[in-house]
Amino acid sequence: MQVIVHTGAHATEEDRLLKSLLRNKEDLSKQGVAVPGPGKYRTLLKDCFAALEAGSPAPDSRDVLWDAILDEEDANRVVLSNPHFFGSQRNALEGDCLYPEAVQRMRDLQQLFPHDQIEIFMGLRNPAGFLPALLQKAAPKRLREVMKQTDPRQLRWSEMMGRLRQAVPVIPLTVWCYEDMPLTWGQIMRDMVGVETHKTLLGDLDLLATIMSPEGLTRLRAYLEAHSDLSEMQKRRVYAAFLDKFAIEEALEEELDLPGWTEELIETLTSIYDEDMYQLQRIPGVTLIAP
């Protein structure tokens, strides 16, 4: 079984991506690709992870798990999605470390599915936007703790990916930038379910629809229908052109507000993030979906 695990990150349109994939559930099932609803596995896997702390899984645990998750559906590829796979929103950050529980979760997945081909898919986000989103609903005490213990200039997604590759090198990682998702959304979906580049999926414009005027979206759909032979790169140039003309400006604005943060700090974090993505692409076994 090919097991595709979408692990968030938090605040990267993770739930919207799953909903878009679920729109294709019936058609994908005919191709041997299962996209089960999250109710079938999120709590179940959480309980399994907890049980692993007490010992090794039973010999038949893998078969029992798949029976529960697939519910008699026949598949050779399954997509599981949960932004909490690598830890809750509160546990996404410890000092200057992103998702400190991630390595253990990867090892847990290996134990639960020892004979399956596991792949991790994950959206990343500029710490300038990630931290405010992560802490948006945090209690005042938690907010003070993070502001005291975490230097956002030290946060590196490449450090996290390097940590995962070193600990579990057999599991490949595919990542993308949250900021690029309006342009890469369709490819992310297709790569997760393993279909050809030219395959059209329901929902492949779902994210663009949230930041583009209805008129622009209608014109875009008509253009794509009239030019069905466009390559992935050509599609992205078309998306960018339509966004340039029909974007909803308010939808593109982002609130980056934390105590003591300045414009200078945000610019510094963005520069660090750009360099971080460059370093990340040099890690063997890590694929970055970029525009």
Average confidence (pLDDT) per 10 residues, the chain, 291 residues: 97 96 96 95 91 81 89 94 95 96 95 94 97 93 93 98 97 97 96 90 95 97 93 93 94 83 95 98 97 90
Which residues lie below 8 Å from residue 7, measured CB to CB, with a gap of 6+? 82, 83, 85, 86, 102, 105, 120, 121, 122
Say how many CA atoms lie within 13 Å of 201 toward its Cβ: 28
Local structure of residue 120 (DSSP, 8 states):
E
In terms of Cβ atoms closer than 10 Å to its own Cβ (0-12, 13-18, 19+), residue 213 is middle
Q: Where are the beta strands (DSSP E) in 16-116?
A: 33-34, 77-81, 93-94, 97-98
> Rounded to whole angstroms, how far apart are CA atoms 135 and 24?
33
- How high is the pLDDT of residue 252? 83
The model's pTM is: 0.94
Parallel, antiparallel or unpaired: strands 77-81 and 2-6: parallel
- How high is the pLDDT of residue 254? 80
- How high is the pLDDT of residue 3? 97
- How high is the pLDDT of residue 227? 93
- How high is the pLDDT of residue 56? 79
- How high is the pLDDT of residue 259? 87
